[in-house]
Structure 1
Amino acid sequence: MIDKLEFLLALARERNFGKAAELCGVTQPTFSAGIKHLEEILGVMLVQRSSRFLGFTAEGERVLDWARRIVADSRAMRQEVHALKRGLVGHIKIAAIPTALAMVSEITTPYRAKHPHVKFTILSRNSIEILSMLENLEVDAGLTYLDNEPLGKVRSVSLYPEQYRLLTSEDSPYGDRDQVTWAEVSRIPLCLLTPDMQNRRIINRLLRTAGGGEPEPTLESNSMIVLFSHVRTGRWASVMPEKLANTLGLTEKLRSIPIVEPEAVHMIGLIVPNREPMSPLTAALVAEAKHLAVALA
């Protein structure tokens, strides 16, 4: 029955029978038959059907909640049994917001030193996608904001405060300053993350409050590397978190200037599903995050 519940989770992710079947590595007729068999076992319709997927029934939504718990527990059980025999072995998937990607290595590197048979996949996603992927068991953990928008039912480990800097060349407007205000930053053409990113929503709110208008960046991207590569030319400016700017590296002519008035700080942390028992792989990840939090304090 676990495999049929995995089918249901795949359908919740893809919202399409063909794509969900491909994700599960089976043909679409086999996939559809599996969903139908699950409905027969439970005695209720789970999926609204026509020629395509229309959504889940009310009963299907409740079964989906149980499927997440049962499949998560099944995976955790297998991990724990394997860990008793061979130590931690497996694959961890972590989704991180773009501004926190550079910090992931601070967790994965010491983790791998202790557990060399664990492999990692790191994905760049926005904060809303991270929560959805956690819920649907697509990732094991996320690195995201903890205090700006609702997180739902997750466990979290606070890692570090995100503080903002104006990145600009020394010969650009305000490039010779020791600090700038958000009102001053609002007058500069900026390259920023795309509006679907929570960092952009935070910056938009700060700039609107300070400058009174809607920010109109000269360049948008969902990649911090793209933004930083433009700023490094000396012809662009951007607002970036301090730790990210320091990690990417500043050139001789590129300045990272604190933005004040108002002082804006948001907490970045690790989030994992709020489930008991926690899988051994996830528990070890949380332990490393706590070690990092102490080191960064």
Structure 2
Amino acid sequence: MAYLPSLRQLSYLVALAKELNFTRAAEACFVGQSTLSAGLKELEESLGVQLFERDRQNVSITPAGLEVLGRAKTILAASEDLVQRAESLGKPMSATIRLGVIPTIAPFLLPLVMPKIRKRFPNLKITLREDLTANLLTRLADHQLDFALIALPYELGNLLVEELFSDEFWLVARSDDPALKAKEITLPIKMADRLLLLEEGHCIREHSMQACKKSDIRNVDGYEATSLLTLIQMVESGLGIALLPEMAIKSGLLNHSDLEARPLATPAPKRVIALVARASTAHQEEFLALSSCIKECSEMSQGLKRTRGISK
């Protein structure tokens, strides 16, 4: 009967699957190459399957290896969560939390939230990483992050999710643009032909297309913006119009520009800001505390109130 694999053997598996090179994988695990090779051989013999194909030039993972790899990552993540949870039991709210935030949230929400968190939980340390949603969720699954602050809708699988507040989209255009002339602005499908978008990977791109009820919008003349700031500059240059989240507009993003932003007619398209974590996270208390702080900031801050009007 096969014996249970050790956590060390599973870590060797994950390292080699990532590097596909025995020397680099051994260095990543801080062991010699012979130790890593022996550990993987024992793992393969125990499980009764070949995990890797090897020759003098290349290393590749087998289909069985891919199946085992996914489970190995889950086991390693759960083991680390267990250790972190045990450490935190004696020192509540004193952990180091690795928080990922998407670029269309970070500069607008974090300046409001972080001072409140530092004041309320002085022993809680938070490190930040800004990245696209897909990259953050990959890092979360790989245990490189503890939480991620993202925008929904987005497919999240079995992650722990706390919805925090809604963030409506506003129409942004030059002040002389005909799109702003109506008393009540709707977003008809025909307006999609003028809609400028962020590049692939930004969730606001998908949200904008959903708002227009189209899944095949092509950016005007092939233009794609890499950031909200670039998107604003493109609109200001007369290339088209854009949908921007209310939190960005209320933060003063359009200050010193010739652009105007108008709320859309009810029901306006919106995104939902959410904090997500692994279901097995060891930081349940911190997860709830951060969620509470962000909700309070969204309710108290003038920038995130649900007021409707004209912003410039």
Q: Please give the TM-score of this superposition, normalised by the length of structure 2.
A: 0.73
> Cα gap change, 1:94/1:33 in structure 2, threshold over 3 Å: closer, same or farther?
farther
Task: Work out whether residues 163 and 272 of structure 2, in 8 Å CA contact, stay in contact via their aligned partners in 1.
Answer: yes
The worse-fitting range, judged by mean Cα deviation, of 149-158 and 163-172 is 163-172
Instruction: Name the amino acid aligned to 2:269.
Output: A
Task: Work out whether residues 113 and 297 of structure 2, in 8 Å CA contact, stay in contact via their aligned partners in 1.
Answer: no
Q: Could you say which residue in structure 1 is the equivalent of 2:76? A: 71
Match of 2:137 among 131, 136, 160: 131
Unaligned runs of 5+ in 2: 1-5, 300-312
Larger radius of gyration: 2
- Equivalences for 1:77-156 in 2 at 5 Å? 77-84=82-89, 88-101=93-106, 102-113=108-119, 114-116=121-123, 118-126=125-133, 128-146=134-152, 148-156=153-161
Is 1:5–2:10 an aligned residue pair?
A: yes
Q: CA RMSD in A?
A: 3.6
Unaligned runs of 5+ in 1: none
> Cα gap change, 1:203/1:55 in structure 2, threshold over 3 Å: closer, same or farther?
farther
Which protein has greater RCO, CA pairs closer than 8 Å, 6+ apart? 1
Task: Work out whether residues 95 and 139 of structure 1, in 8 Å CA contact, stay in contact via their aligned partners in 2.
Answer: yes
Task: Work out whether residues 208 and 214 of structure 1, in 8 Å CA contact, stay in contact via their aligned partners in 2.
Answer: no
Q: Could you say which residue in structure 1 is the equivalent of 2:298? A: 296
Q: Distance in 1 between matches of 2:54 and 2:252?
A: 49
Deviations 1:4-30 (A, max 9, x none): 433434455x46437656655667666
Deviations 1:8-54 (A, max 9, x none): 34455x46437656655667666555544433454433334454443
- Greater fraction strand: 1
Secondary structure of 2:288's partner? helix
- Equivalences for 1:219-230 in 2 at 5 Å? 219-230=223-234
Q: Could you say which residue in structure 1 is the equivalent of 2:242? A: 238
The percent of aligned pairs where both chains have the same amino acid is: 23
Q: Distance in 2 between matches of 1:195 and 1:71?
A: 32
Task: Work out whether residues 178 and 258 of structure 1, in 8 Å CA contact, stay in contact via their aligned partners in 2.
Answer: no
> Cα gap change, 1:181/1:31 in structure 2, threshold over 3 Å: closer, same or farther?
farther
Number of residues paired by the alignment? 287
> Cα gap change, 1:141/1:119 in structure 2, threshold over 3 Å: closer, same or farther?
closer
Q: Please give the TM-score of this superposition, normalised by the length of structure 1.
A: 0.76
Instruction: Name the amino acid aligned to 1:131.
Output: L
